[in-house]
């Protein structure tokens, strides 16, 4: 299967957004920015790269949109899409594959797009709020064997593969630009967030209540409620046994009934996209819950 990624890039406000379309002279079409992944490239990183290459725009990812599948010759092609908010509006076509980038209102963009699946993505984009704020829950990266480690388990570090996962995670988290970093005090958790923290000059706040050895459900639930209600994008790193509890707490705090499996692989993460509805009885609404691996 051919893998590709792209985004519905938007600017403006919720009431009158504009989206970026690209014109490809080789195909004579108007489409959303997208392109094939490089070998071994994380799909989120690929989406950002393709948007930057085709439009010149730096963006922040929002919620995922339905993937598109179609046949490319005799091979199935899957394109993963996200909403993405433009950090500026100075477009620059890449000149090789794209010769024009335009900003259009949603309805005009729908008429201009060549392919029906792109028009469907615009419909999906408008089915929920465009502007969301992520709360990301990460399971620590690989840290060797608990049984083979002879010291205090809270001091067990990431192994070589885990350190590589943490570097990938640092790049992937950059797509969401979290500014609040919270972690179990266990070394393998803090080390998982360290590459991202160092790249962006941020501090990792350590919380014993989020660790396996010092887990405190009351303190953990208070912390989750605080993070859910706060307007800043945030990331929390914890353990395989604790994270399902944290996700369950989020569901209860938002009066949601989540029946999905809450487990994550080591180095994996879940993204809760929150919309803040001013004037509503329940001002915080989770519009999407997504899971990824590194």
pLDDT tens string 206-245? 999 999 999 999 999 999 999 999 999 999 999 999 999 9
| Helical ranges in 15-62 per DSSP H | 43-55
Paired sense of beta strands 75-86 and 59-72, if any: antiparallel
72: which 2 tokens?
């490319």
Computed over every residue of the chain, the mean pLDDT equals: 93
66: which 2 tokens?
């339905």
Q: What is the pLDDT of residue 274?
A: 93
- Cα–Cα distance between 267 and 140 in angstroms, integer? 5
8: which 2 tokens?
């519905």
Instruction: Note the pLDDT tens digit of each residue in 195-216.
Output: 999 999 999 999 999 999 999 9
For the cut 80, the answer to whether the pLDDT of residue 283 exceeds it is: no
The contacts of residue 75 (CB under 8 Å, 6+ apart) are 1, 2
Instruction: Note the pLDDT tens digit of each residue in 112-147.
Output: 999 999 999 999 999 999 999 999 999 999 998 887
Q: What is the pLDDT of residue 257?
A: 46
Contact criterion met (CB below 8 Å) for 132 and 88: no
List the single range of 84-93, 99-108, 250-259 with lowest mean pLDDT: 250-259
For the cut 50, the answer to whether the pLDDT of residue 157 exceeds it is: yes
Q: What is the pLDDT of residue 279?
A: 66
**pTM for this prediction:** 0.94
For the cut 90, the answer to whether the pLDDT of residue 47 exceeds it is: yes
Paired sense of beta strands 18-24 and 29-31, if any: antiparallel
Q: How many CA atoms lie within 13 A of 106 on its CB side?
A: 18
Domains of the chain: 2-126 (3.90.79.10), 133-293 (3.40.50.1240)
C-alpha dist (Å) from residue 220 to 103, 210, 214, 293 = 44, 6, 10, 24
């Amino acid at each position: 299967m051919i893998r590709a990624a792209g985004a519905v890039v938007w600017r403006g406000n919720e009431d009158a957004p504009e989206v970026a379309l690209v014109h490809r002279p080789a195909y004579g079409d108007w489409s959303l920015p997208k392109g094939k992944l490089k070998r071994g490239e994380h799909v989120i990183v690929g989406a950002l790269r393709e948007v930057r290459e085709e439009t010149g725009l730096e963006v922040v990812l929002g919620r995922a949109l339905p993937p598109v599948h179609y046949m490319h010759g005799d091979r199935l092609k899957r394109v993963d899409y996200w909403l993405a908010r433009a950090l500026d509006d100075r477009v620059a076509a890449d000149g090789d594959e794209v010769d024009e980038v335009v900003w259009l209102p949603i309805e005009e963009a729908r008429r201009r797009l060549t392919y029906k699946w792109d028009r469907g993505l615009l419909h999906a984009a408008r089915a929920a709020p465009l502007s969301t704020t992520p709360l990301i829950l990460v399971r620590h990266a690989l840290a060797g064997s608990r049984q083979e480690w002879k010291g205090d388990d809270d001091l067990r570090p990431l192994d070589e593969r885990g350190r590589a996962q943490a570097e990938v995670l640092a790049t992937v988290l950059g797509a969401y630009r979290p500014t609040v970093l919270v972690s179990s005090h266990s070394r393998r958790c803090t080390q998982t967030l360290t590459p991202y923290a160092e790249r962006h000059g941020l501090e990792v706040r350590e919380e014993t209540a989020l660790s396996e050895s010092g887990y405190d459900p009351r303190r953990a639930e208070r912390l989750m409620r605080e993070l859910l209600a706060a307007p800043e994008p945030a990331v929390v790193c914890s353990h395989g046994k604790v994270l399902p509890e944290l996700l369950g707490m989020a569901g209860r705090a938002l009066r949601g009934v989540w029946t999905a499996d809450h487990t994550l692989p080591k180095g994996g993460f879940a993204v809760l996209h929150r919309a803040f509805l001013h004037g509503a009885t329940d001002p915080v609404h989770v519009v999407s819950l997504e899971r990824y691996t590194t």
